[in-house]
Amino acid sequence: MIKQQSSTHSKLRSDYKINATQMFTGIIILLGVMAFAKLKYQSNSMSGFQLIIGLAMGYILQRSRFGFAGGVRRIYITGDSSLTKALMILFSITIIITTAIHYSAFINGTDIPGIKSVVPANIVTVLGAILFGIGMMFGGGCASGTLTDLGEGEGRAFIVLIFFIIGSLIGVNNLPWWQESVFYKMGTTLYLPDVFGYMGSLLISLLGFLIIYILAKKYENKRKNEDTVLNVDYEEWEKALPEQKNYKIFSAETYHKFFVERWSFYKGAVLFSAMFIVLLIVSGSSWGVTTTFAKWGGSIAHSLGIVDISTWPWFEGKIEPMSKVFFEDGGSLRNIGLILGALVSALLAGRFSLKFKFTMRDIIYYAIAGLMMGYGARIALGCNAGALYSGIVNFSLSGWVYLPSITIGGIIGIKLVKKLKINC
């Protein structure tokens, strides 16, 4: 719940000044990324595009504080359902458009964009999602959240990412065993339009989102009646400035409006859905984050002679030198762009800072978080970006199996964080 600004607040904010050093640093980085993207575009147009789309995604996620892990954590801890409801808006907008894209490809007999997101739904999906859900609470964010936190200067995110990559590598190594197990075979791969048709699948999905939206609102009302809703206020620096009597276009107030003032979750949902759709149309593939982590881990470990991944089934046809994995692979460029987008957003707002205030005990829990998320994402064939969001909006039954599973994992994780007093 957002608190109303007081007159005292307005008075205190009337002398707002721009952090010129961070602003110019942000502009330089932004121009540098765009120049590099243009260079990549000349040799590989898709590489340049992936970098820019990642940049935009990172900016949106940081500016709106929009995130998937928060959809569980925020409502459970505070009783505020705004982010959970915004996620349902995100899913609804996206799936309406993906329905048209899928149906158009179907009637024209062409490959359906995003169809690779349709993966098996089984017991391993449930186990991996629960494991991922617990890990994202230990680490303070999901896969995309870890990348945006890293862009903001969170040292915690750096530790989580390292072990996320290690966990991903262990996961792909163990994946053949899981795929041969009874747990993997207890399920099915289902593209919903094959059963319900495109319109039927759309209506069923929208009904599902509506039910979740209503349940979230009812839960918030219940907490309000119990007087247990915690006020979640914006930080002072990201609130809207008071209206000026003599408004000037070229002023600190205008700058604050365009580059500092926090976006609502709903604005974040609309803008992010647009980026998702652009990515789907241009590349033919949906958004994902964690597959790239496994590639990073495999490439680094193989290049340094730590492990020989040439015989691992998952890496068949995927072994590339580190230089190519990091600077040619579309998923890698998109993830790097996401980090840089969050960095640029924080710098333009004048709020970037390096944060390394944690203990050795915290580091151990962050490492566990990364391992759990990395391993869980790989055996479940994705995180809440690829397996949940991309899965659901591309009509994969697996996405609907992943949703309650990661919610259960998230709630377990929240309880453990509280009990263990983890600093996240």
pLDDT given at position 321 = 64
**CA distances, 270 to each of 98, 205, 265, 273, 376 (Å):** 14, 18, 9, 5, 29
pLDDT given at position 93 = 98
Nearest to 95 by CA among 398, 383, 388, 395: 395
Tens digits of residue pLDDT in 316-375: 877 766 667 778 889 999 999 999 999 999 999 999 999 999 999 999 999 999 999 999
Q: Please check the confidence at residue 244 and state whether its pLDDT lies above 80.
A: no
Q: Please check the confidence at residue 162 and state whether its pLDDT lies above 90.
A: yes
- Pick the residue with more confidence: 370 or 235? 370
Pairwise CA distance, residues 251 & 16, whole Å: 10
Rounded mean pLDDT, 173-187: 95
pLDDT given at position 231 = 84
pLDDT given at position 1 = 32
The packing angle between helices 330-348 and 45-64, to 10°, is 40
Rounded mean pLDDT, 3-9: 40
pLDDT given at position 322 = 64
Cβ–Cβ < 8 Å for 101, 281: yes
Q: Please check the confidence at residue 253 and state whether its pLDDT lies above 90.
A: no
Tell me the two tokens of residue 95.
Answer: 């799936």
Tens digits of residue pLDDT in 75-89: 999 999 999 999 999
Q: Report percent pLDDT > 90 for the chain.
A: 79
Cβ–Cβ < 8 Å for 399, 391: yes
Pairwise CA distance, residues 244 & 250, whole Å: 13
**pLDDT band, very low/low/confident/very high, at 275 (cuts 50, 70, 90):** very high
Cβ–Cβ < 8 Å for 219, 75: yes
Q: What is the mean pLDDT of the chain?
A: 92
pLDDT given at position 4 = 39
The length of the chain is: 424
Tell me the two tokens of residue 35.
Answer: 């120049």
Tens digits of residue pLDDT in 392-419: 999 999 999 999 999 999 999 999 999 9
Tens digits of residue pLDDT in 11-63: 445 567 889 999 999 999 999 999 999 998 888 889 999 999 999 999 999 99
The DSSP line for 247-281 is --SSSHHHHHHHHTSPPPHHHHHHHHHHHHHHHHH
pLDDT given at position 14 = 54
Give the three-state DSSP class for 240.
coil
pLDDT given at position 10 = 43
The model carries a pTM of 0.93
Rounded mean pLDDT, 252-262: 91
Cβ–Cβ < 8 Å for 163, 313: no
Cβ–Cβ < 8 Å for 167, 372: yes
Q: Please check the confidence at residue 7 and state whether its pLDDT lies above 50.
A: no
Tens digits of residue pLDDT in 108-157: 999 999 999 999 999 999 999 999 999 999 999 999 999 999 999 999 99
Q: Please check the confidence at residue 233 and state whether its pLDDT lies above 90.
A: no
pLDDT given at position 68 = 92
pLDDT given at position 221 = 97
The DSSP line for 95-117 is HHHHHHHHHHHHHHT-PPTTGGG
pLDDT given at position 12 = 40
